[in-house]
């Protein structure tokens, strides 16, 4: 299967926004560049109209240019390794790849994301990790919704959670998550394929983590609450600060109370308590 490479030049202030949007239209690998980023999708999944529609929505924030190239199969990990640097979260946690050197920090997460999304570089992931660091996980049960690389599930385990499981709708993400869990010596940590409405759970959770996007959160927060213990915490991200009222409205309607709000580069994470 050939891949399509899209080279996008944009202002650094909107790079993460574009990546988050483009990730929703079947692009499964991103490489930061000096002037923007490169994005990759399988040739059969490429839809230029969808791509142009996203770019047009952000042109008011600055000029955006893109070029398209058809590529034969290539070493995606080699491309990724060229741009991936370790991420330090509040001086307490380092998210690094297996080829990086370790540092003397309280927590360390090894993530080799390959084609999955979630290395700590994106503001939403780092915001979620920051919120996890301020939430008591000791002997708690935790569910990671849309786990991606399982970075949040692994963080929960390292913070002392007694039981952690995650799930994703993407088979590649599930495979990658299982690899990352093993590389971090976080077993047992169950990773499954599916959705919140189709999977069966044997318990309610003390903490539920969901770094997805605005529309899915608005639709699924009531389902998350059904699996959350009274007094438990729902930590969410994947939306802009302008979306806070919409997220809080649906959360309030199902008995959640806002506990903490963090904003970074216009992206937001909120802790809700049931």
Residue 231 has phi, psi (to 5 degrees) of 90, -5
Give pLDDT, residue 248: 97
Same domain? For 51 and 151 the reply is no
Question: Tell me: the pLDDT tens digits for 246-270?
Answer: 999 999 999 999 999 999 988 899 9
Residue pair 135/152 in contact by the 8 Å Cβ criterion: no
Give pLDDT, residue 249: 97
Report if residue 108 sits inside a domain.
no
Same domain? For 242 and 146 the reply is yes
Report if residue 30 sits inside a domain.
yes
CB-based contacts of 267, cutoff 8 Å, min separation 6: 16, 122, 123, 124, 127, 237, 238, 239, 240, 241
- Residue 146, judged by CB atoms within 10 A of its CB (0-12, 13-18, 19+), counts as buried
Q: Starting from the edge strand earliest in sequence, which strands make up the sheet with 29-33, in order?
A: 29-33, 36-42, 3-9, 65-71
* This prediction's pTM: 0.74
Question: Tell me: the pLDDT tens digits for 151-189?
Answer: 999 999 999 999 999 999 888 789 889 999 999 999 899
Report if residue 105 sits inside a domain.
no
Same domain? For 158 and 226 the reply is yes
Q: Cα separation of 223 and 210, whole Å?
A: 12
Residue pair 27/41 in contact by the 8 Å Cβ criterion: yes
Same domain? For 66 and 198 the reply is no
Q: Which CATH number belongs to the domain containing residue 135 in this structure?
A: 3.40.50.150
Q: Cα separation of 121 and 182, whole Å?
A: 22
Report if residue 235 sits inside a domain.
yes
Same domain? For 214 and 147 the reply is yes
Report if residue 40 sits inside a domain.
yes
Residue pair 214/185 in contact by the 8 Å Cβ criterion: no
- Give the chain's radius of gyration (CA, Å): 18
Closest CA to 246 of 268, 263, 265: 268
Give pLDDT, residue 121: 67
Same domain? For 158 and 27 the reply is no
Range of the domain at 145: 118-273
Where a domain ends, among 55, 76, 97? 76
Same domain? For 149 and 250 the reply is yes
CB 205: neighbour CB atoms within 10 A? 23
* DSSP percent split of the chain into helix, strand, coil, nearest 5: 35, 30, 35
Residue pair 116/84 in contact by the 8 Å Cβ criterion: no
Same domain? For 159 and 244 the reply is yes
SS3 43: helix
Q: Cα separation of 19 and 164, whole Å?
A: 28
Residue pair 16/265 in contact by the 8 Å Cβ criterion: yes
Q: Which CATH number belongs to the domain containing residue 56 in this structure?
A: 3.30.70
Same domain? For 124 and 244 the reply is yes
Per-residue pLDDT of the chain (274 residues; tens, 9 = 90+): 678 889 999 988 888 888 888 988 888 677 778 888 888 888 888 999 999 999 999 988 889 999 999 876 655 556 555 566 788 899 999 898 877 778 889 999 988 766 545 555 678 899 999 999 999 999 999 999 999 889 999 999 999 999 999 999 888 789 889 999 999 999 899 999 999 999 999 999 999 999 988 888 999 999 999 999 999 999 999 888 999 999 999 999 999 999 999 999 888 999 999 9
CB 92: neighbour CB atoms within 10 A? 12
């Amino acid at each position: 299967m050939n891949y399509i490479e899209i080279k996008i030049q944009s202002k650094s202030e909107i790079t993460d926004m574009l990546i988050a949007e483009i990730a929703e239209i079947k692009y499964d690998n991103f490489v930061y560049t000096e002037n923007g980023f490169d994005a990759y999708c399988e040739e059969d999944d490429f839809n230029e109209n969808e791509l142009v529609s996203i770019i047009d929505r952000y042109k008011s924030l600055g000029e955006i240019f893109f070029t398209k190239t058809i590529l034969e199969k290539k070493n995606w990990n080699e491309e990724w390794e060229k741009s991936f640097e370790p991420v330090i979260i509040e001086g307490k946690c380092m998210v690094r790849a297996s080829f990086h050197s370790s540092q003397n920090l309280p927590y360390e997460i090894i993530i080799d994301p390959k084609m999955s999304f979630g290395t700590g570089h994106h503001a939403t992931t780092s915001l979620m990790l920051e919120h996890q660091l301020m939430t008591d996980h000791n002997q708690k049960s935790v569910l990671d919704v849309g786990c991606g690389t399982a970075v949040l599930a692994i963080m929960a385990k390292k913070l002392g959670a007694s039981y952690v499981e995650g799930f994703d709708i993407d088979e590649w993400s599930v495979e990658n998550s299982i690899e990352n869990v093993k590389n971090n010596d976080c077993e047992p940590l169950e990773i499954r394929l599916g959705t919140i409405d189709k999977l069966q759970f044997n318990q309610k959770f003390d903490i539920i983590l969901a770094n997805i996007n605005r529309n899915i959160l608005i639709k699924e927060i009531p389902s998350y609450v059904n699996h959350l213990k009274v007094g438990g915490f729902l930590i969410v991200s994947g939306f802009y600060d302008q979306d806070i009222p919409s997220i809080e409205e649906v959360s309030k309607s199902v008995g959640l109370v806002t506990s903490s709000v963090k904003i970074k580069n216009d992206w937001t994470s909120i802790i809700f308590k049931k």
